[in-house]
Amino acid sequence: MSSKDIAAPGGNAFLNFTSNRWMQLIFGILCMGLVANLQYAWTLFVTPLEAKNHWGLSAIQLSFAIFIVVETWLVPIEGWLVDKFGPRIVIAIGAVFAAVGWMIDAHATTLAELYTAAVIAGIGAGCVYGTCVGNALKWFPDKRGLAAGFTAAGFGAGAAVTVIPIANMIQTSGYERAFMFFGIAQGVLIFIFAMFMVRPAPPKGVQPAPRIVTTKVDYTAGQMVKTPVFWLTYLLYVAVAAGGLMATAQIGPIAKDYGLAKLPMSLFGLTLPLLTMTLSIDNLANGFTRPLCGFISDRIGRENTMFIVFIGEGLSMLGLMKYGHSPIAFMTFAALVFLFWGEIFSIFPAICADTFGVKFAAGNAGTLYTAKGTASLLVPLASVLSAGGNWDRVFIVGAAISIVAAILAKFVLAPMRKRFIDEANAAIVAKPAAQPAAGMIDGGNLAKSKVI
């Protein structure tokens, strides 16, 4: 492994400062916040795009689904590049792609151009997201949930800072100018922060969180996907991500169908259209929950936390269905949906590193992250279920899936994962001489003995 882009003691004082693991975490959070608008501000552009081009909401939302699929399904490749070459170059490439994607959106006159922009922006977002989360897992083996949570919080809450100026620019100058201005600005800033990103040297004397059972085996992504425990984890990720993605993409149309989108709402002396204020609050809730639930999962366990929040997600969807026609209730339950949903982006990367090791954490977490892309394929289903402006079916299906996922996490995944880790660790203790150099073990053969 090359020493390039690896933190090391000594040398330039400024480089030592920027290579501090907390500074690396901050740089990752900033990059995530800057790329977040590609997903979380998208709903602001849907109606203006339809008003000008008359492509149809389903056709426009297909662009969102394409973006999510590309963003997530290419992350394993991007994670492999991070594990091999370090985070700096991958984030820098992501910055360029993220900017170009929105620049194409600004000038798109056909659906083909809109979909092309979605592919390019998806590559950019995936480069930034997968790199920053993977790097955080490597820097913080003792606080994986918290570090992944803070990093993912940048993606969840980052759009809250800019959603109001983006909405204002769309209103005053048109969506084209908003795409251009924010696309270029975000890309330039991400590129600058990328120059300070480095991967850690092997940690010394840093132990995992005391209540978290972790593997002593470092699995490659190829070895990981041969294990049943990975696929159950993947299934749960898809299930819970699907409901949240439907809300993320459809919160604007839902508010419009409920007759609430332009209703003026005042909070702390600030008056905004209900949709704009709801999106700001939702993004803050979405960001806040990630480090909070990551921290909690470091203390009480991953599956215990999943059980609590997945049930909370289901109940929040049912509350939005029943009471959401009231402006205050709409804002409250929408925020709760995001609060109970956003934690998946801290807990699942942490549980992946706990189960499959930290050496290949970027590639492994990226492989698991493709579950978000799989879940995005269900987003157009929301438009079908909500035909005629009836969103009840969407909420009922999403709530049922979340509650079932909670039960599976607590009573199926938890014992399966513990057994998998215990057997792997016991194999190393029993046959230490058989363990290859650099902490690797034949995870593929080990995985075959654990098929249940």
Decide if 242 is inside a domain: yes
pLDDT on residue 380? 74
pLDDT on residue 308? 97
Does residue 268 register a pLDDT over 80?
Answer: no
Read off the CATH number of the domain in which 84 is found: 1.20.1250.20
pLDDT tens digits, residue range 297-338?
A: 998 999 999 999 999 999 999 999 999 999 999 999 999 999
Distance CA 370, CA 68 (A): 9
Q: What is the mean predicted confidence (pLDDT) over 32-46? A: 88
Q: At what angle do helices 144-173 and 274-300 cross, to 10 degrees?
A: 170
Decide if 195 is inside a domain: yes
Decide if 7 is inside a domain: no
Decide if 291 is inside a domain: yes
Q: What is the mean predicted confidence (pLDDT) over 197-213? A: 68
pLDDT on residue 441? 45
Decide if 110 is inside a domain: yes
Distance CA 27, CA 24 (A): 5
What value does the mean pLDDT of the chain take?
85
Decide if 416 is inside a domain: yes
Of 7-21, 124-138, 160-174, minimum mean pLDDT range: 7-21
Residue 53 CB partners (closer than 8 Å, separation 6+): 109
Decide if 4 is inside a domain: no
pLDDT tens digits, residue range 209-221?
A: 656 778 989 999 9
How many C-alpha atoms does 382 have within 13 Å on its Cβ side?
A: 28
pLDDT tens digits, residue range 412-452?
A: 999 999 999 999 999 887 765 444 444 444 444 444 434 33
pLDDT on residue 119? 96
Q: Which residue has the higher pLDDT, 137 or 380?
A: 137
Does residue 254 register a pLDDT over 90?
Answer: no
Q: Which residue has the higher pLDDT, 251 or 206?
A: 251
pLDDT tens digits, residue range 392-422?
A: 888 898 899 999 999 999 999 999 999 999 9
pLDDT on residue 220? 93
- Please report the sign of the dihedral spanned by the C-alpha atoms of residue 225, residue 231, residue 235, residue 241: negative
Query: Of the ranges 7-11, 92-96, 146-150, 283-287, which is most confident?
Result: 92-96
pLDDT tens digits, residue range 341-390?
A: 888 988 999 999 999 998 888 889 989 988 988 887 777 777 788 777 78
Report the predicted TM-score, pTM, of the whole model to 2 decimal places. 0.78
pLDDT on residue 1? 42
Q: Are 316 and 324 in contact (CB under 8 A)?
A: no
Q: What is the mean predicted confidence (pLDDT) over 127-134? A: 91
Decide if 265 is inside a domain: yes
Query: Could you tell me what percent of the chain has a pLDDT over 90?
Result: 49
C-alpha of 147 from chain center: 13
Does residue 158 register a pLDDT over 80?
Answer: no
Please report, as a single letter, which amino acid is at residue 273.
Answer: P
pLDDT on residue 450? 40
Domain that holds residue 89: 13-448
Give the total number of structural domains in the chain. Answer: 1
